[in-house]
Amino acid sequence: MPEVIWVYAEVVEGKITATTLEMLAKAAEVGKAEAVLLGPAPDDAPETLARYGASKVYRSADPVYRDYLTLPAAATVAGLIEKHKPAVMLFASSYAGRDLAANLSARFDCGAITDVGDFQLKDGSVEATIPALGASYLNTATLVSEGTKLLLVRPKSFEPKINEQPLAVEEVEAPADQALRAIRVKERVAVKREGPQLEGAKVIVSGGRGLRGEENFAMLKELADLLGGAVGATRAAVDAGWVPYAMQIGQTGKTVKPEVYIACGISGAVQHLSGMKTSKTIISINKDPEAPIFQYSDFGVVGDVFKVVPQLIEEIKKRKGR
Amino acid sequence: MNIAVCGKVIPASTVTIEIDPTTKRMVRKGVAHELDPAAASALEEGLRLAEKHGGAVVLYTMGIQDATIGIRSALAMGAASAVHILDDAVAGSDTLATAKLLAAAIKKQPFDLVLCATESSDSYSGIVPGQIAYFLGIPALTFAREIAVDGSKLVIKRQSESGYDVVESTLPALVTTTSGINEPRYPQLKGIMAAKKKEIKVYTAADLGFSADQVGEKGAREKVLSIGRPPKRQAGKIVTDEGEGGKQIADFLAEIKVL
């Protein structure tokens, strides 16, 4: 009997997330993949999950999972785990995935492995691979607790695969307990994003804390446009509200591998390096000669980003005859 | 309002992290330490809330003796007192044991709000806060980039994939702060002097009701099997800008045929 591997399916902006489909591909490779899908989702969401390898979908469309964070989903998933005892349950390293895995790992006193890039199952025990520094080296870890192993998986760790399964949906009941409605979502605000996508960009110009503010990203946009590239950012710049999350590169953001990565005012925290270190060529500009980013750079300029970048823009324009 | 801030004291950003091949853990002894900048943001948020609504902030940390330097800077920033979980037995604790110990320490005093960074800057697992909230039996509101308290009501702006969500709950609750939520204050001389008189309460695992095999490496659910070695990357060319930095990058781009 193949081991049963569950995937916690997430829907963002009305679509099953890419990471959900990636995790299904791996789950189906290691054992029998099944998905848990809670909350409102497009009508064809269970079909999509089945098409990507889920041989069963535990499903509730109750809005409680959308309107109240973590607690209703944790209660439902905990009940399902107790009943069906899957060998492994996979969560995306996402906002919802982390919250849920944290709650369940405490509830079952079982722990969890975070930032997983790959895993294997051997005689019921799990061996997870944790890529460090943009997969330039690997650590491995296991969970010695009994029961379902909880893993938080990095986005882009696996290739999603069409792996058509007959659609089998098992409806689950949403909890009625009012105490679970403690974290209420009052409003969802979407921040508009523009410009070319980071995925697939040949050149990425990226900004960090050193950019000092939202307005200074215009300069990076101009440079990226001249090089036919896209603009990215570090977590610090995103957290500061300067640019939307869609632009975040790093452990909790996107992993990119452009031909050229130009890091502007980025110190090179591990969190960021993880998402860009495998870029073919890395160029960096930072005022601090000790900044770790220089250790990973093919070419680095110790200097003021507000002087170097404008000069670079002028120089490119000149050479392109504009 | 009683505010508990959980923060880690970590090897300073100037320290090159080494891994001990025997214990497979980060080498923490004998290197310079500082209060995790992510924790400093959580603390700053706590201090601002206490200044606005009244109340005091207590810093909770778990770590080796060297952590004292970070605790002192938290006290100098304005924390009223600190709790240090200091015990050789807790070395090698996984996220779960860390959360249990911190929750047990926080429970010893009344609290309304617990603040943590979304993740520490040295191990960034990001699940300890959610586990602490579970053990305290309070809701966890995560990834806050803004926090507002009104009586017993708490509202945060929570970072989301497409923008942010406005999320609310009642107190007591735990909130995790994103690194951009504020610019933490620097300790001033007055604060540094005052910090010397502030109390640092020290607890062992036993003080918190845990036996030595429930915590630390023995109690860990997560075991590290192997640690890889970062490959050496061939050093690139680093120049100092003397007015030609932008041109030099253009030259380099031409050299690699991007221009």
The sign of the dihedral angle between the CA atoms of A272, A274, A276, A280 is positive
Chain A / chain B CB contacts < 8 angstroms: 264
- Residues with Cβ < 8 Å from A178, sequence gap 6 or more? none
Mean pLDDT for chain A overall? 92
Pick A124 or B68 by higher pLDDT. B68
pLDDT digits (tens, 9 = 90+) for A174-194: 999 999 999 999 999 987 666
Interface of A with B in 97-116 (CB under 8 A): 98-99, 101-103, 105-107, 109-115
List chain A residues with CB under 8 Å of B170. Answer: 182
Pick A123 or A44 by higher pLDDT. A44
Angle (CA) A314-A273-B225 rounded to 5° is: 170
Task: Read off the tokens for B10.
Answer: 């970590």
Contact B164 A189 (CB under 8 A): yes
**Maximum average pLDDT range among A123-132, B10-19, B104-113:** B104-113
Residue A230 has pLDDT above 60, yes or no: yes
Contact B163 A189 (CB under 8 A): yes
Residue located via tokens 């300067």: A242
Across A192-201, A213-222, B138-147, least confident range: A192-201
Asked whether B253 and B259 are in contact (CB, 8 A), the reply is yes
pLDDT of A233? 96
Residue B128 has pLDDT above 90, yes or no: yes
The residue count for chain B: 259
In this structure, which amino acid lies at residue A158?
A: F
Q: Provide mean pLDDT across the span B104-110.
A: 97
Burial of B56 (0-12, 13-18, 19+ CB in 10 A): middle
Give A245's pLDDT tier (boundaries 50, 70, 90): confident
Residue A241 has pLDDT above 80, yes or no: yes
pLDDT of B161? 79
Across A106-110, B32-36, B77-81, least confident range: B32-36
Residue B179 has pLDDT above 70, yes or no: yes
Q: How many helices (H) does chain A have, and how many strands (E)?
A: 9, 18
E strand or H helix that includes residue B215: none
Partner A contacted by B258 (CB < 8 A): yes
Of B169, B230, B235, the CB nearest to A183: B169
ipTM metric: 0.88
pLDDT of A260? 93
pLDDT of A193? 62
The percent of residues above 90 in pLDDT, for chain A, comes to: 76
Across A225-234, B29-38, B243-252, least confident range: B29-38
pLDDT of B7? 96
Residue A73 has pLDDT above 80, yes or no: yes
The residue count for chain A: 322
E strand or H helix that includes residue B165: strand B163-170
The sign of the dihedral angle between the CA atoms of A50, A53, A59, A62 is negative
Partner B contacted by A319 (CB < 8 A): yes
Interface of B with A in 31-60 (CB under 8 A): none
pLDDT of A81? 98
Residue A216 has pLDDT above 90, yes or no: yes
Interface of A with B in 252-311 (CB under 8 A): 252, 259-260, 262, 267, 269-271, 281-283, 285, 289-290, 294-304, 307-311
Pick A42 or A154 by higher pLDDT. A42
Contact A191 B161 (CB under 8 A): no
Task: Read off the tokens for A195.
Answer: 């410009």
Residue A152 has pLDDT above 60, yes or no: yes
pLDDT digits (tens, 9 = 90+) for B132-173: 999 999 999 999 999 999 999 999 999 887 789 999 999 999
Instruction: Give the rounded distance of the alpha carbon of A12 from its chain centre.
Output: 12
Residue B229 has pLDDT above 80, yes or no: no
Alpha helix positions (H), A108-253: 217-226, 235-239
Residue B25 has pLDDT above 90, yes or no: no
Nearest residue on chain A to B181, judged by CA atoms?
A: A240
Angle (CA) B220-B226-B229 rounded to 5° is: 130
Give A215's pLDDT tier (boundaries 50, 70, 90): very high
Q: Provide mean pLDDT across the span B233-237.
A: 75
3-state secondary structure of A319: helix
List chain A residues with CB under 8 Å of B40. Answer: none
Across A154-158, A165-169, A184-188, B73-77, least confident range: A154-158
Q: Provide mean pLDDT across the span A218-226.
A: 95
pLDDT of A194? 61
Mean pLDDT for chain B overall? 92
Give B230's pLDDT tier (boundaries 50, 70, 90): low
List chain B residues with CB under 8 Å of A103. Answer: 130-131, 133-134, 140
**Maximum average pLDDT range among A158-172, B221-235, B245-259:** A158-172
- pTM of the model as a whole: 0.83
Give A257's pLDDT tier (boundaries 50, 70, 90): confident
Q: Provide mean pLDDT across the span A303-319.
A: 96
Residue B232 has pLDDT above 60, yes or no: no
Partner A contacted by B14 (CB < 8 A): yes
d(CA B96, CA B215): 9
pLDDT of B255? 87
Of A203, A237, A312, the CB nearest to B250: A312
Burial of A212 (0-12, 13-18, 19+ CB in 10 A): middle
Give B20's pLDDT tier (boundaries 50, 70, 90): confident
Contact A105 B252 (CB under 8 A): no
Give B233's pLDDT tier (boundaries 50, 70, 90): low
Across A57-71, B92-106, B226-240, least confident range: B226-240
pLDDT of A131? 77
Q: Provide mean pLDDT across the span B225-237.
A: 73
Asked whether A261 and A279 are in contact (CB, 8 A), the reply is yes
Distance to chain A for B189, nearest Cα, Å = 26
Pick B43 or B232 by higher pLDDT. B43
Give B234's pLDDT tier (boundaries 50, 70, 90): low
The percent of residues above 90 in pLDDT, for chain B, comes to: 73
In 3D, which of A234, A227, A232, A233 has the Cα closest to residue A203? A227
E strand or H helix that includes residue B46: helix B37-53
Contact A299 B249 (CB under 8 A): yes
Q: Provide mean pLDDT across the span A81-96.
A: 96
